Structures are given as C-alpha cells and as structure tokens.
C-alpha cells in the first residue's frame, strides 16, 4: 500500500487502543453515546435519497456502502443489520482484526479490509454511499483524502461525513473539555489544527462533483446524557452530499 493520506502517528495512536473499540465505558465511550444519533442521520438521509422504506426491517437493503476509517466497526455493524452490503476499511491492521472478530461473533458478513481510500479508488470501484465519520480530522492530506473518497462514490450516489468544526467553542468543548476536564476522551485524541470547517469540507466535495444538501450539528445534553441533531454546527457536525449523475 502506498500512503498519501494516512497520518502514521494517528494510525499508531488508534491502533494502541484498538482492543477497547467495543467497550461502551472505555476510551471510545463518546462514540458509543452518539452512535444512535449518527445512525439515525445516515438511515434517514439514505432512505430519502434512494427512495427506500425507512420503516422496513432492513431499510438499507440493496445499497453498497463504503465505511472509510471504520475502526472497530461501530457504524458498519448496525448498517449491515439494516441490510446494507458493507465494505469497511481502515489504515490500522489491528482495528480491522478487532472489527472482523466482533462481526464474526455476531454472524455479520462485512468485507473488512486494511487499505487506504486512494488505493481502493485506484481499483476503479464505486459505491452507492461512502461514509467519512470522524476520520477527516485525522488524515495527513485532506484534499487528497477527499479526492480519493469522492472518486469512490458512484454517479447519483451519496457521501455522509461527520467531523469537528474549527472554532473557539469546539476547542473549548471537544479538546479541552472532553480530553482534559471531563475525561471523555484520552488526552491527545484530537489535534485542534486538524479540525475542519464546514465550508472547507463542502469546498473539497464540490470540486469533486458532490454537492452538500444538508448539514446538521450534533449537540450533547448533559441533563439527559444524550446527543441530538440540531442546527448548531459550531462543534460536531454531520453533512449529506450527493454526486452529480
């Protein structure tokens, strides 16, 4: 594999804690907490775009979805249960091994691969939908990463992304608060300079033929200990984009 987008230090950091992916009270607790909100956004947006029945037992059946930076499979497994044909990739071999073991134990057929998006794009494969969930802030070259990711979306397909905005508020809450005060994340999880503004994300997609159709914020309610979709993009945000036919 030839690396153009992978940040080796980031891969090593996540690889070191790969065994904790499926511990809801471990180092990935925040991902477990807001996973239901992410999954709701994904299901609703993909069903609306592809004309699928959101209330069906397997609402995403028939869709081929690529999950980039899948980690231990926290997004891939639920989407597989919703009927999607999942291909899930990560730069960390240990992450992929953890994901494969967990999926096998659950009887799930997910195509896990330790491969970079640019290498997959070189194979001229495309998917109905590509997911970039909390990964773009960890890559070495955002432009190259988005070029490769967008090439993997078929014409008429969609991309869903999630990341952290680069604002004073996000620095205070997602970096200082989450890592140093509340201890929700291990110190060093994020580099504030790598946070991505919505305009930057959208520009990178637009130059590759994708148009952002919707953006939502994800906001934490400490009294309910839960996350919800909002219009506040100042910290965490999600976007839905489609590729021209």
Q: How many domains does the chain have?
A: 1
| Residue 145 confidence (pLDDT) | 96
pLDDT band at 1 (very low <50, low <70, confident <90, very high): very low
Q: Percentage of residues in the chain with pLDDT exceeding 90?
A: 69
**Do the domain assignments include residue 65?**
yes
Query: Highest-confidence range of 7-16, 90-99, 151-160, by mean pLDDT?
Result: 151-160
**Do the domain assignments include residue 2?**
no
43: closest CA among 240, 242, 212? 240
| Residue 85 confidence (pLDDT) | 98
Please enumerate, by residue number, every residue annotated as part of a binding site: 38, 69, 90, 133
Residue 88 · residue 67 · CB < 8 Å = yes
Please enumerate, by residue number, every residue annotated as part of a binding site for S-adenosyl-L-methionine: 38, 69, 90, 133
**Do the domain assignments include residue 160?**
yes
Cα 217 from chain centre: 14
CA distances from 163 to 187, 219, 230 (A): 18, 13, 15
| Residue 227 confidence (pLDDT) | 85
Kind and range of the H or E run holding 38: helix 29-50
The pairing of beta strand 236-243 with beta strand 226-230: unpaired
Whether the per-residue pLDDT at 160 is higher than 50: the answer is yes
**Do the domain assignments include residue 75?**
yes
Domain CATH for 158: 3.40.50.150
Look up residue 77 and give its two tokens: 């497994």
Digit-coded pLDDT (tens) for 66-87 = 999 999 999 999 999 999 999 9
Host domain of residue 68: 8-243
Distance CA 44, CA 185 (A): 28
**Do the domain assignments include residue 1?**
no
Of 95-104, 133-142, 221-230, the range with the lowest mean pLDDT is: 221-230
Of 17-21, 70-74, 180-184, the range with the lowest mean pLDDT is: 180-184
**Do the domain assignments include residue 55?**
yes
Digit-coded pLDDT (tens) for 113-132 = 999 999 999 999 999 999 99
Global pTM exceeds 0.75:
yes
**Do the domain assignments include residue 122?**
yes
Q: Percentage of residues in the chain with pLDDT exceeding 70?
A: 89
Look up residue 100 and give its two tokens: 């494969």
| Residue 2 confidence (pLDDT) | 43
Digit-coded pLDDT (tens) for 187-202 = 666 677 889 999 999 9
147: closest CA among 199, 93, 139, 164? 139
**Do the domain assignments include residue 3?**
no
């Amino acid at each position: 594999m030839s690396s153009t987008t992978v940040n080796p230090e980031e891969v090593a950091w996540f690889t070191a804690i790969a065994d904790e992916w499926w511990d809801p009270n471990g180092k990935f607790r925040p991902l477990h907490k807001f996973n239901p909100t992410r999954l709701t956004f994904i299901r609703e947006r993909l069903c609306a775009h592809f004309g699928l029945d959101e209330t069906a037992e397997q609402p995403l059946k028939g869709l081929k979805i690529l999950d980039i930076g899948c980690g231990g499979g926290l997004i891939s497994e639920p989407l597989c249960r919703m009927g999607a044909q999942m291909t899930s990739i990560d730069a960390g071999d240990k992450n992929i091994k953890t994901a494969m073991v967990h999926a096998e134990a659950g009887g799930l057929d997910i195509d896990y691969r330790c491969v970079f998006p640019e290498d997959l794009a070189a194979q001229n494969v495309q998917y109905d939908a590509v997911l970039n969930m909390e990964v773009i802030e960890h890559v070495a070259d955002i432009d190259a990463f988005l070029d490769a990711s967008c090439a993997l979306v078929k014409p008429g397909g969609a991309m869903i992304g999630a990341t952290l905005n680069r604002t004073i508020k996000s620095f205070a809450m997602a970096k200082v608060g989450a890592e140093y005060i509340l201890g929700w994340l291990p110190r060093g999880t994020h580099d504030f300079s790598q946070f991505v503004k919505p305009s930057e994300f959208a520009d990178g997609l637009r130059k590759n033929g994708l148009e952002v159709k919707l953006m939502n914020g994800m906001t934490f309610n400490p009294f309910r200990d839960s996350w919800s979709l909002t219009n506040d993009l100042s910290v965490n945000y999600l976007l839905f984009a489609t590729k021209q036919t």
